[in-house]
């Protein structure tokens, strides 16, 4: 049953400091960014809380800028912002590629990178990109700032290390050396949640991450090690099968996800390899 939104209170902070103060209330309000995930929960009748904290007007959390080597992306940057951003397209083109495949234009205009991360779905399309980019997440509370490696953020299915009084304020991306690769496999190009999503960086130490094949987005270090040491793609595909744990659900089957993951790995390796091997 739908949840009646008329019973909810929307708090309107005037600044980030104000928002952080409101998050110290008991119980803390639920942060609301683009609302594209929250609204789905509300529409499905999931009571996610009676008080919401509207982050949308906090423009200070929307900036994208290159600070020396580091690309800093405000948590409120929308997918449309990422698609249009020259620093993103230049430094991390696979993030713009992932953004282009999220929902359709309406969702890209409202959905934020921060919301995709904190929502913590293993199918979030930006997550494998942030995993291979070895991003750092910047969390703020009244106590100060915590910088958390992306690899340490998720603790289980839809669980994170974030505290209720913290906000994700920015995502920091170090320089990414090597050829970048991204592929989403879904039922159709737009408005489809991933059956499998993969990002890779072809470097002497290759980096590979997959979504929708385990309770959280996963890096696959054993598979990476096989490829780094010159093992064959067939060996790497066999090792990959032990590193992922897909399930059957309404979007796909575990068997299909295993097969597609192996195929994506081969495509990544072929398409980022020497010119004559690319198909
Ligand atoms: C039609 C449709 C299609 C979609 N297609 C895709 C798709 O193809 N791929 C995909 O990955 N996703 C998809 N989504 C899901 C959604 O659009 C994304 O996950 C989006 O990034 C969520 O961002 P948001 O700003 O709307 O988050 P919200 O809904 O506002 O919030 C999501 C969660 O994050 C928390 N939160 C948000 N921002 C912060 C912050 N800065 N600090 C702390 N907590 C925060 C909220 O409290 C909430 O728990 C789709 C959704 C819809 C409705």
* Tens digit of each residue's pLDDT (9 = 90 or more) over 182-232: 999 988 777 788 899 999 999 999 999 999 999 999 999 999 999 999 999
Q: Give the closest residue to 154 by CA, choosing from 245, 246, 217, 211.
A: 217
The closest residue, in CA terms, to atom 27 on ligand 1 is 115
Q: How far is the CA of 25 from the centre of ligand 1 (A)?
A: 23
CA-CA-CA-CA torsion sign (1, 40, 6, 53): positive
Residue 191 has what pLDDT? 74
Rg of the chain, C-alpha, whole Å = 19
CA-CA-CA-CA torsion sign (155, 158, 163, 168): positive
- Give the list of residues 6+ apart from residue 63 with CB closer than 8 angstroms, or none: 72, 74, 77
Q: Which atom of ligand 1 is nearest to the CA of 75?
A: 41
Cα angle: 114, vertex 119, 120; to 5 degrees: 105
Q: Are 36 and 107 in contact (CB under 8 A)?
A: yes
Q: Which atom of ligand 1 is nearest to the CA of 38?
A: 29
The answer, yes or no, to whether residue 126 has pLDDT greater than 70, is: yes
Cβ 37 under 6 angstroms from ligand 1: yes
- At 96, the pLDDT band (50, 70, 90 cuts) reads very high
Per-residue pLDDT averaged across 166-178, rounded? 98
Please name the residue that has the structure tokens 């005037």. Answer: 14
Distance CA 56, CA 40 (A): 17
Cβ 167 under 6 angstroms from ligand 1: yes
pTM: 0.96
Distance CA 101, CA 188 (A): 10
Q: Which two tokens stand for residue 80?
A: 């449309």
Tens of pLDDT, residue by residue over 38-92, are 988 888 877 666 899 999 999 999 999 999 999 999 999 999 999 999 999 999 9
Residue of higher predicted confidence among 9 and 74: 74
Q: How far is the CA of 112 from the centre of ligand 1 (A)?
A: 6
Cβ 34 under 6 angstroms from ligand 1: yes
Residue 63 has what pLDDT? 97
Distance CA 54, CA 31 (A): 6
């Amino acid at each position: 049953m739908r949840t009646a939104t008329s019973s909810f209170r929307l708090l309107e902070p005037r600044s980030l400091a104000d928002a952080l103060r409101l998050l110290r209330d008991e119980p803390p309000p639920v942060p609301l960014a683009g609302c594209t995930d929250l609204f789905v929960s509300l529409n499905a009748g999931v009571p996610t809380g009676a008080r919401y904290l509207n982050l949308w007007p906090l423009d200070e959390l929307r900036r994208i800028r290159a600070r020396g080597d580091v690309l800093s992306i405000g948590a409120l940057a929308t997918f449309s912002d990422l698609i249009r951003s020259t620093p993103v397209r230049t430094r991390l083109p696979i993030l713009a590629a992932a953004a282009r495949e999220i929902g359709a234009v309406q969702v890209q205009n409202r959905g934020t990178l921060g919301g995709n991360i904190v929502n913590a779905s293993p199918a979030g399309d930006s997550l494998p990109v942030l995993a291979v980019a070895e991003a750092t997440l910047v969390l703020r509370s009244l106590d100060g700032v915590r910088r958390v490696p992306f690899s340490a953020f998720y603790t289980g299915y839809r669980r994170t290390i974030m505290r209720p009084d913290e906000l994700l304020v920015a995502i920091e991306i170090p320089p990414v050396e090597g050829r970048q690769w991204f592929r989403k496999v879904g039922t159709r190009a737009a408005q489809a949640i991933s059956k499998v999503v993969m990002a890779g960086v072809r470097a002497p130490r290759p980096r590979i991450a997959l979504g929708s094949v385990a309770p959280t987005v996963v890096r696959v270090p054993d598979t990476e090690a096989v490829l780094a040491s010159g093992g064959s793609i067939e060996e790497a595909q066999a090792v990959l099968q032990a590193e992922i744990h897909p399930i059957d659900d309404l979007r796909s089957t575990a068997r299909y996800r295993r097969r597609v993951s192996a195929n994506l790995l081969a495509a990544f390796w072929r398409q980022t390899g020497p010119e004559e091997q690319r198909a």
